[in-house]
Amino acid sequence: WATSAAELPEGAKSSSSQFQVNSDGYLVWVGDGNTTKDGIPKILWGTSTNIDGKTYNWGRPIQYADSEGNTLHQMGTSVPDFSYAFNANFRFKGLSVYAMFDGQSGGDIYNHTRQWAARDDGSDDVDQYGKDDATKKPTVYYRDMYHVNAPNSWYVEDGTFIKLRELAVKYDLANLVDLRGVGINTLKLGIVGRNLITWTDYRGFDPEVGRGGGQLGSAVNARVDSYGYPNYRTFSFTLDLDF
């Protein structure tokens, strides 16, 4: 979708004053003397204009085409700027705590699950509850974004995240009770949790997604969220005996 007047067709650039960037960051036609906030107050949704033989609907996104008419463009990259991991250990008397975090900065995800939900107005994007009239949009706006399930920039999301991958807490009961009389040097009870918390702005269930096969190739590289299950959150209990 077009995001600036510079991406308008040549025949429409002379009328660029009639276009503005909306709250989603996309260029839309609003007409002379109007703003993107006037759709409901001035009853402008559903109106249109013709500029250089092309119809522009009020407030609705404009598909970007380059100077040669191509509408296929790179929308993002699945490669993060960098990935990282770090861990920490804490010990005090019989208590030990281990935590591991990992994540990535940058990299894009195509949220196909969210796009498919828009097919029958089922996406949460469509819900306008709580918005003021200046930012509300009709369902037809989101049907444009659905774009008959064709890939488009509306569903490209930032894949940055940090995850508490593992947290293990153990306590040595031998620190409380002398068990050497029964031949036990240490008796540690513990609990281990994995995939506990994810901090991210990604709107899907889990930013660690991918879909492989066909033209997509490896699921490691094709960061497409397509109805897959998120990583499971698990809890395990542990018992360590040292005789």
H-run or E-run covering 140: helix 139-146
Q: For residues 93 and 58, which has the higher predicted lDDT (pLDDT)?
A: 58
| Global confidence as pTM | 0.83
Is 133 in the same domain as 220? yes
Distance CA 88, CA 81 (A): 24
Question: Does residue 34 lie within any of the structural domains?
Answer: yes
Q: How many structural domains compose the chain?
A: 2
**3-state class of 128 per DSSP?**
coil
Q: Whose CA is closest to 166, among 189, 191, 185, 130?
A: 191
For residue 229, what are its two tokens?
A: 């299950």
Residue 125 lies in a domain: yes
Q: Residue 63 falls within a domain, yes or no?
A: no
**Tokens 């003021």 belong to residue:** 132
Q: Do 135 and 88 share a structural domain?
A: yes
Asked if residue 208 and residue 142 are part of one domain, the reply reads: yes
- Residue pLDDT, tens place only, 18-30: 999 999 999 999 9
Structure tokens at 224: 């497409």
What is the per-residue pLDDT across 186-204, written as a single tens digit (0 to 9) for each? 889 999 999 999 999 999 9
Whole domain around residue 49: which residue ranges?
5-57
Q: Does 112 share its domain with 52?
A: no
